[in-house]
Structure 1
Amino acid sequence: MLDIGYALSRRFPDPPQTDYRRADRHALRHDLFSGDVYLADTESDRELSTAWGWVPVLDFAWALCDIAELLDEDPLGSRAARPQYAELDFTESTDRLLFERRFGWVDIEAEWLPADVPPLAFPHAELRGEARDFLHDLLADLFDMHEALADNPVIWDLQARFPRLPAGRGGR
């Protein structure tokens, strides 16, 4: 089972004068909410994680939702034999997470790990559902810390674009 998590950094706090209600898309994706993230396979007890402290956590959640949709563009869906690829690059680094979907399964590997470390593998529907749940759980945590963020129109659009999915349809 896929588990996605994060920890906000104490070393890279948001600027104290931040107006979360009016923060633009760029600020929300790249300048705020720095920390670390992980993707874990709870059955095999393996994970891909960062330990840099500066990863834009909201951007990671947003990008993961985008990637789940990008990997679903083949009309054959889970029957597609042709691999579909996507990558998530970290803005302050050359490191990337690489995604490959084939026959409904997605392999995820981290470039910063040794080449002999096997990728994590999950059903695409699980990746899509968990990515959206992670986004909404993260936003709920951020709203608890910064109430004005819940009134930001960019966040409203993000929530509308990636709603939680019902259980059994790529959600919990």
Structure 2
Amino acid sequence: MLDIGYALSTRFPDPPQTDYRHADVHALRHDLFCGDVYLADTKADRELSTAWGWVPVLDFAWALCDIVEHVDRDPAGSRAARPQRAELDFTESTDRLLFERRFGWVDIEAEWLPADEPPLSFSHTELRREARDFLHDLLADLTDLHEDLADNPAVWSLQARFPRMPSA
């Protein structure tokens, strides 16, 4: 089972004068809500996590949803044998998460881990559902912290673009 989570950093707080209602996409994706993120396979008791404190958490959630859609572009869908690849790069680092979908499964590797570390592997359907749940849960947490964020048009667009998926 996949678990995606985060922790906001106390070392890199958002500027106190931030106007969350009018923050542009660049600020939302790169300048605000820094912390750490993880993807965990709870059944295998393994995880890929950052420990840098500066990862833009909302950008991670947004990019993860984009990647899940990107690796689903083959018209054969879960029957596609040809690998479909994507990567998530961390802006302030050369480290990346690498995604490879073959058939209905997505392998996820972290470049900062030893090369002999096996990738995490999840069904594409589960990854899509959990990525979108993570995005919506994160936005709910962030709007609890900053009420004005709920009135940001970029957040509305993001929520509409990646709606929650029905539970399996």
TM-score (norm 2): 1.00
- Could you tell me which residue of structure 2 aligns to residue 58 of structure 1? 58
Aligned pairs for 1:62-81 (under 5 A) are 62-81=62-81
Aligned pairs for 1:21-170 (under 5 A) are 21-168=21-168
Distance across 2 between alignment mates of 1:72 and 1:104: 9
TM-score (norm 1): 0.97
Deviating beyond 6 angstroms after TM superposition, the runs of 4 or more aligned structure 1 residues are none
Unaligned runs of 5+ in 1: none
Post-superposition offset of 1:167: 1.5
State, as a whole percentage, how many aligned pairs show the same letter.
85
Post-superposition offset of 1:34: 0.1
Distance across 2 between alignment mates of 1:63 and 1:125: 17
What is the count of residue pairs matched by the alignment?
A: 168
- Indicate the SS of the match to 2:159: helix
Distance across 2 between alignment mates of 1:129 and 1:52: 26
Query: Match of 2:133, as an amino acid?
Result: D
Query: Match of 1:161, as an amino acid?
Result: R
Distance across 1 between alignment mates of 2:87 and 2:102: 15
Post-superposition offset of 1:32: 0.0
